[in-house]
Structure 1
Amino acid sequence: MAEYEACIAGLEAALALRVQDIDVFGDSILIICQVNGKGRTREAKLFPYNTYLESLVKKFRSITFTHLSRTRNHFADALATLASMLDISATMEVQPRAVRLQWAPAHVNIIEISAKCQDGKLWYIDIKNFISSKGHPPEASSKERKILHRLATNFIICGEKLYRQSFDGIQLLCVDEDKAAELIEQIHEGV
């Protein structure tokens, strides 16, 4: 019943905002199949929910329902949480927002960008130089110097190689983008 309640509340809010076209994403296969006509409700207590949901669906110009498996519903959970915190009235003007899906954690994108933007320098060279007492880069601002100092506390140099110490004490070798691609390829080949 909670899935029906959530879906109905969302559609009512959209109708109150005069939305005509909507894409609905949900992790309840029961509801998605029923509104797409691939199944029927068998439980008597769900008949009123199903009937009301079908009447709401008819009020939209176009509506699609897409099932997200529970492993892919982080986006739906986040939207549901945000929607429950808002008090939406019919007089409120809502601007549409473009949502960009990101397939990797943000820190991965930052590392990839910084690795490509250093004019041929390795992404970790400033950290390595700082640890080996060569100091800060001459062009670094005071804020960048503080960040470098804080970052360097998680790294150590052993021989000529730089390692990052993980939270569980494992030392992770720092490599450049080419070496990382080579290692990933070897791992996936089963070497």
Structure 2
Amino acid sequence: MKFDGSSTTQSGGVRVVLYHEENEVVALSFKLEFPCSNNTAEYEAYLTGLATALGMGVRHLKVIGDSNLVVCQTKGSSSLKEPSLAPYRAMAQKMEERFSTFEIEHTPRSKNRFEDALATLGLQIVFEGYGAKIEVSKRKESIIEILKEKFQEEQCEEDWRNPIREVLMKEGEPAKLKALRNYALVGGGLYRRMPGGILSRCVGPEEVQRRLKEIHDKTCRSCGEISLYRRLQRAGFYWPSMGKDVDQVQVRCETCQLTADREESYAVFVNEDWRKPFTQYLVEGVLPQKHSK
């Protein structure tokens, strides 16, 4: 799937192209009749493509897009700071789970010619296959509103987020509101404000287990590069016991333990004694060389 979105001060445009391995092409174009930013339009295009693929029964999907922001946030290499994009990222994460295999990669805009051409219905362009089906539609509401009921998250009675939601949704006591100042409701979802203005989506008990397993399984052999806890943060997830749960997962994983042992042994072998400069000064009177100005 390839996607592209653009916007003006009053509206936006969405283009999606789905390629089948048998050279079949489905191209969709939507005119968005509501104000949106460029980033919002890119997410509108991305979610429209995912919804279309799921509706067609696609279970294995590779996505190619020229929006660096959408691609990086989907991969978890970029944090979310814009509240207006929070509902889009949350919906994207729910939809991506529906595919058996899913991957996404960034491509330069110059290689997205077909999708760019759909903005003005430029049909004089070479594309894969022998033909293309192009539909142009108007949409007066966001893709989030269209998909909200279909991908609505079920709430359980023991969900830790429920008491916080209740306080934020009504005029509660000032003391309670002050204690929850780092939480916010965005598009009906609960988020926690992290240092640096990052918004992390608060997830419930069922999703916690899925996300822990999903990200651990993907990154288990490379946990030395970036910790599992940090990967969950970058993916935009939060729950109160996240640090404790991550430690338990890694303690039970033999691969994580083996990696940690190797790193510890390597560090002990190659690192010099941090006390050496001090002992040299005390025993031999050797001072560090002055740095040149």
Shared fold by TM > 0.5? no
Larger Rg: 1
When normalised by structure 2's length, the TM-score is 0.27
When normalised by structure 1's length, the TM-score is 0.41
